[in-house]
């Protein structure tokens, strides 16, 4: 549920709300601070990097990932 303090934002048109989201996202990106990453996620990233370093041909290119994601599978 939306915070009552921000409920009036729902009165904005869809286009205005999307613009607001974009503006908020841009303001966060400009702060340049990274968000904290949990130890669990860091451990998983290290494991994945180690696996990749041991077998660099095991991964897929970004182009292949995008292509596969856009393909409909039954």
pLDDT band of residue 5 (cuts 50, 70, 90) is: very high
User: How far apart are the C-alpha atoms of 74 and 70, rounded to whole Å?
Assistant: 13
- Residue 73 pLDDT level (bands cut at 50, 70, 90): low
pLDDT in tens, 35-71: 789 999 999 999 999 999 999 888 888 999 999 999 8
pTM: 0.45
For 11-24, how does the pLDDT look when each residue is reduced to its tens digit (9 = 90+)?
999 999 999 999 99
CA distances from 41 to 56, 58, 60 (A): 21, 21, 21
Round to whole Å and give the CA distance between 50 and 37.
Answer: 18
In terms of C-beta density within 10 A (0-12 exposed, 13-18 middle, 19 or more buried), how is residue 69 classed? exposed
């Amino acid at each position: 549920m939306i915070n009552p303090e921000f409920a009036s934002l729902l009165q904005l048109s869809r286009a205005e709300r999307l613009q607001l989201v974009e503006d908020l996202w841009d303001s966060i990106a400009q702060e340049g601070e990274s968000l904290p990453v949990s130890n669990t996620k860091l451990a998983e990233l290290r494991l994945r990097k180690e696996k990749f370093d041991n077998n660099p041909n095991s991964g897929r290119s970004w182009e292949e990932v995008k292509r596969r994601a856009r393909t409909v599978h039954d």
